[in-house]
Amino acid sequence: MPRLLRYVVAIFIAMITLHYILSLTHDQYREATSLSKFTAPYFQDEELLGEEEEDLLDESFNPAHNEPDDSPPAVFPSNNAYNQSLANATFVMLVRNSDLDGTISSIRALEDRFNSKFGYPYVLLNDEPFTTEFKRRVSALTFSKMKFGLIPKEHWSQPDWINEEKASEARKQMQAANVKYGGSVAYRSMCRFNSGHKLLQQYKWYWRVEPNVKFYCNIDNDPFKYMEENNKVYGFTIAVYEIPATIRSLWPAVTDFIKEHPEYIADDNAMGFISDNNGLTYNRCHFWSNFEIADMDFWRGPAYSAFFDHLDLHGGFYYERWGDAPVHSIAASLFLKADQIHFFQEIGYQHDDWAHCPLPNDIWEKGQCACSQRGSFDYDVSSCKPRWDSFIRSRG
């Protein structure tokens, strides 16, 4: 055996012997060099993945947070405590396990364009328990805190005061007329469900996010903080007309409420956006609520709570197909001052076939937007953005 090789072998044997002796005689050394020290984080993830989801309980799931205490800090902020200037806010997604790919796509886009710089948490809600695979894959997208919640069945089921025979007949008629979601009970339950879930109670602000949406521009300024610092309550990017067949009795129910509760109608409100004749009829304009940033204290307040209960007892969520978008929009337009509603020009956004792309060139360029300004829905024949512009101009 060559002399150099003999030296290497001798040194290796000496190191093994020293390691063995130290392991027997020094507990701290044995603990520090144990194989379990290095595999522990992965086994912790396995245990977390195997936990059963408890109904309605606050459940957090993020393998990125299960590192040992001596691990290096994450590159991105992990929660609101990382930056004390953040608002008390969260993203909210109402999704199903079958929406996994679309959920991943939306969160990835949102992280890339905005949240990787801020670290706001997520709350994901489902009417059935999330699968382990869903939680694992979605949680891997961000260092932000992520919570998964189960919607109580009594919040999702058709109320017992609804006449099912009447509701079923309405669904059949809408389905025959090719009304979107016309035959779906689940869609109606989703529209009826409001922002009252236990996991949302700790937050003041929310940003609603749907599966399969796109964010086209960098968002360098915090929309939550803008809303908070400028006395805004409701923010939108797209405004559209509602399908007439889905809301035939909605406005009569609204006018009944206005007569019964004039104390809730705000001075200098936005009635001029939703009605062309001072409230006699509804022009069907609403803010598209698949994107909305709002103060949840507004939805929890006495005006909206009374309004929702009034509409709920009319049964229109099930006898017709009242959507959450017109209900939210009418409430915001009546119970808020007009200047508390904000249009987010700078947020390039797409849901289904409709997209908002910033039209001012300086905003489009600053945001490095990937959308076509010519393809923006803002002034499409189906858009209510021109009505919003006209209403704002009329206020002077």
Specify the higher pLDDT residue, 351 or 28: 351
* pLDDT at residue 64 tops 90: no
Report which DSSP code applies to 280. S
pTM: 0.78
Number of alpha carbons in the 13 Å side-chain half-sphere of residue 30: 8
Domain spanning 153-192+213-394 has what CATH number? 3.90.550.10
Q: What is the mean pLDDT of residues 145-151?
A: 94
- Calculate Rg over the CA atoms of the chain: 27
Task: Say what the pLDDT of residue 180 is.
Answer: 62
- Least confident window among 51-55, 208-212, 294-298: 51-55
**213 contacts 290 by C-beta, under 8 angstroms:** yes
Residue among 204, 303, 191 nearest 247 (CA)? 191
Task: Say what the pLDDT of residue 247 is.
Answer: 95
* pLDDT at residue 345 tops 60: yes
Element counts in the chain: helices (H) and strands (E) = 17, 12
Residue among 212, 261, 205 nearest 101 (CA)? 212
Q: Which residue has the tokens 């937007």?
A: 369
Q: What is the mean pLDDT of residues 250-255?
A: 98
Listing DSSP states for 5-18 in one string gives HHHHHHHHHHHHHH
- Reported as a pLDDT band with limits 50, 70 and 90, residue 37 is very low
Catalogue the active-site residues. 292
Where exactly are the structural domains of the chain?
48-149, 153-192+213-394
Q: Average model confidence (pLDDT) for the chain?
A: 82
* pLDDT at residue 49 tops 60: no
Give the Cα-Cα-Cα angle 354, 356, 362 (nearest 5 degrees). Answer: 155
Backbone φ and ψ for 207, nearest 5 degrees, come out as: -125, 115
